[in-house]
Amino acid sequence: MAARGSAVACRLRPLAGFAVATAGAQNFLGARWVPALLAVTPAGRRPAVALRLLAWSPHYFQPGEHDRHAVAERIRHTRQVLADEVLGRYLHADDDVLDVGCGPGYLAAAVAPRVHSVTAVDVSRGALACARVLNPAPNLDYLTVDEFIRGGRDVDVVYSVAVVQHLTDEVFAHALRGWHAALRPGGRLLAHVVVDDPRWQTEAQWRAERELAGRLKRRFALNCFGRSADQVRRLVTAAGFGELDLVAVASFVDVDDDVAGQHLLVARRLDVAAASVATPSRGLTVPVQATPVEPFDLEPFDLEPIGPAPANTDPTR
């Protein structure tokens, strides 16, 4: 009985942590106390506490993954491989780069030695606080999206991995315009995307979902939307990008991560459409999601950016 009780407690503990650390849809570890806790933790204990916090978030750890150190090492390894074998093909040593949806920063830290600077942004202040502890680098800044916008920086490359699938078309379109505005003329977009995979429900299918589990997943943005390659191309082109290519990640690398079976969207900022799509906030903030409000949808979505596409492009500027 005691063993059963402790097994149940084991299962519930991450859920409890998740609930108290969440500041809204998509914003896992966004609660104010998360960065505050790390700030008062003695420096030597911070990495362990940051990892424990991350283990609550379904964005970074899967249910049932109990050895958080092993999971962290796996993430570090897969992000290093993605930086070296995938993103690295499109990056130059003098690039200033924006990492959108950086989470705990493993990917940003792997990219940093390859480029001039990395600005890594996320909607979650808690994820950013963990990233500063776990993955610092001299040329790497962790900022909220709002801080990035206020700073007025522009960059040569925007990349985003494991984020776009969480965004509705409306939010993705808005994010793309923000990325376009953040890029210097001719700047490059590298966005990991999931396309043409029948195992992934579309946004319309998610919206039609009446089961509580499905609705809760959507409420907390645990849903992942599948899209067709055409749909992705249309959205990216409409935001002012051209020279699109959709590359299978597997054509570059075999890595122990879902991303390996998916695609990288490569595109370049065109300047013709830029003026008509950029907003005063540089498009990076996202309006309240204009979807029907359901009983438990008490808060607006608080999201912003993403993007990717296909293969074997010429990675030169």
Q: Fill in the per-residue mask, 69 to 108: x = in contact with ligand SAM (CB under 6 A), - = not in contact.
A: ----------x--------------------xxxx--xx-
Question: For residues 217 and 243, which CB has a smaller minimum distance to ligand SAM in the complex?
Answer: 217
Using DSSP's 3-state secondary structure scheme, residue 310 falls into strand
**25 contacts ligand SAM (rule: CB under 6 A):** no
Per DSSP, the residues of 91-139 read: --TT-EEEEES-TTSHHHHHHGGGSSEEEEEES-HHHHHHHHHHS--TT
Q: By rule CB under 6 A, what count of residues binds ligand SAM?
A: 22
Nearest approach in angstroms of CB 248 to ligand SAM is 18
135 vs 231 by CB, closer to ligand SAM: 135
- For residue 100, the minimal CB distance to ligand SAM (Å) is 5
Alpha carbon distance 306, 239 (integer Å): 12
Nearest to 311 by CA among 260, 265, 269: 265
247 binds ligand SAM (CB under 6 A): no
CB 242 within 8 A of CB 208: no
User: Using CB under 6 A, which of the segments 38-46, 61-69, 227-235, 301-309 binds ligand SAM?
Assistant: 301-309
Phi, psi of 155 (to 5 degrees): -140, 165
Least distance (Å) between residue 237 CB and ligand SAM = 21
Q: Where are the beta strands (DSSP E) in the chain?
A: 96-100, 117-122, 140-144, 155-160, 183-193, 241-248, 263-269
Contacting residue, 54, 81, 83, 127, with ligand SAM by CB under 6 A: 127
- Order of strands, edge to edge, in the sheet holding 117-122? 140-144, 117-122, 96-100, 155-160, 183-193, 263-269, 241-248
Report CA-CA distances (Å) from 102 to 10, 45, 221, 237, 256: 28, 23, 16, 24, 19
Q: Which of 22, 26, 168, 313 binds ligand SAM (CB under 6 A)?
A: 26
Contact mark string toward ligand SAM, 152..181, x via CB under 6 A = ---------xxx--x---------------
Q: Is the dihedral of CA 141, 162, 30, 288 positive or negative?
A: positive
304 binds ligand SAM (CB under 6 A): yes
Among 35-43, 66-74, 89-97, 118-126, which window interacts with ligand SAM (CB under 6 A)? 118-126
The minimum distance between CB 6 and ligand SAM, in angstroms, equals 29
Residues lying near ligand SAM in the complex (CB under 6 A): 26, 59, 79, 100-103, 106-107, 121-124, 127, 145, 161-163, 166, 303-305
